[in-house]
Amino acid sequence: MQAFSGKIVALSGGVGGAKLARGLAECLAPDQLTVVANTADDFDYWDLRICPDIDSILYALADLNDEERGWGLRDESWRTMVAMRRLTGDEWFQLGDQDLATHLFRTMALRRGESLTAVTAALAERLGSPCRLLPMTEQSVATRVHSDQGELAFQEYFVRERCEPKVERIVFEGIDAAELNPAVHEALADPALTGIVICPSNPFLSIDPILSLRGCREAIAAAGVPVVGVSPIISGRAVKGPAAKLMEELDMPNTAAAVADYYGDLLDGFIIDDCDREQCAQIANPRRQCRTAQSLMRDLASKRQLAVDTLSLLAELH
């Protein structure tokens, strides 16, 4: 296997980003990779702190995730859910029996006064993650979706309403008072850093909250290393989630090229799927390279290969 030198910081949301994070972890030594998770999807359910993107990444890195469902743990059971439904009638957000242990462990630690960074590190270590996972911030940021059906909390829009409302505006509540996690600052300022990856996550719902944190774009620029993004849009569709639908609702073409444009100057390189190769000419410019790859990650081999392609472009740009 090709050896990559230096350290990488990867910005990620849930499912798609978690898959590439797993591939990157396969190609890099544990101290070479730091994954930064969006936490604007976080919310409280049954008085438990749920951090969906942290958990999706954590489970994927530890090879415990359910690939088919896209979230939660493999070999899950749902007996608590059934019992809670009997008591409360509430069933729109599903918490599996084993998954509940993660939320209990996190909530207990947070109530003891531990930081989200510390409890995430403890979960990563105990579940067997091969690399470091950091929440984007310690402060509370909550995505609010303004839609044709009124204002919704993110999980109400995403899970309860199945992304059906037409989105008019997305607001990250608390973003002005929030700061980039100091541990992320440190990772970005590490002299051994050789590249930053923007995983194929939803640009508006998953990556934007990270980039909108005070100090984030400045820290990325100050790092002075290449930034490579991977398109979450393949052939006009998102592999999972509402990215393509959202782009239409926000009056953008639902193409990989529109995602590249959205990230703008942030990107030094962008990877799109082989089937979108005709968009390369539109994406590439003197300051931005475009490469095509097989970007649908169906199994471990394809996750590893996309990670190799991403790391190779970073190395080329370095």
Q: Residue 135: in which H helix or E strand, if any?
A: strand 132-135
Indicate which single residue of 10, 14, 39, 199 sits in contact with ligand FO1 (rule: CB under 6 A): 14
Q: Is 157 in the site for ligand FO1 (CB under 6 A)?
A: no
Instruction: Provide the 10 A C-beta neighbour count for residue 236.
Output: 14
- In the bound complex, what is the minimum distance in angstroms from residue 48's beta carbon to ligand FO1? 10
> Which one among 4, 157, 158, 270 touches ligand FO1, defined by CB under 6 A?
158
Residues near 169 by beta carbon (within 8 Å), at least 6 away in sequence: 145, 146
C-beta closer to ligand FO1: residue 72 or 200: 72
Determine, following the binding rule CB under 6 A, whether residue 42 of this chain makes contact with ligand FO1.
no
CB of 185 or CB of 245, closer to ligand FO1: 245
Contact status: 41 vs ligand FO1 (CB under 6 A): yes
Binding residues for ligand FO1, rule CB under 6 A, total 17
Per CB under 6 A, the segment of 9-17, 175-183, 191-199, 228-236 that binds ligand FO1 is: 9-17
Residue 156 near ligand FO1 by CB under 6 A = no
Shortest separation between residue 8's beta carbon and ligand FO1, angstroms: 22
One of 28, 95, 180, 272 touching ligand FO1 (CB under 6 A): 95
- Count Cβ atoms below 10 Å from residue 77 Cβ, excluding itself: 12
- Name which position in 110, 118, 159, 250 contacts ligand FO1 (CB under 6 A): 159
Q: Is the Cβ of residue 199 or residue 283 nearer to ligand FO1 in the bound state?
A: 199
| CB-nearer residue toward ligand FO1: 98 or 282 | 98
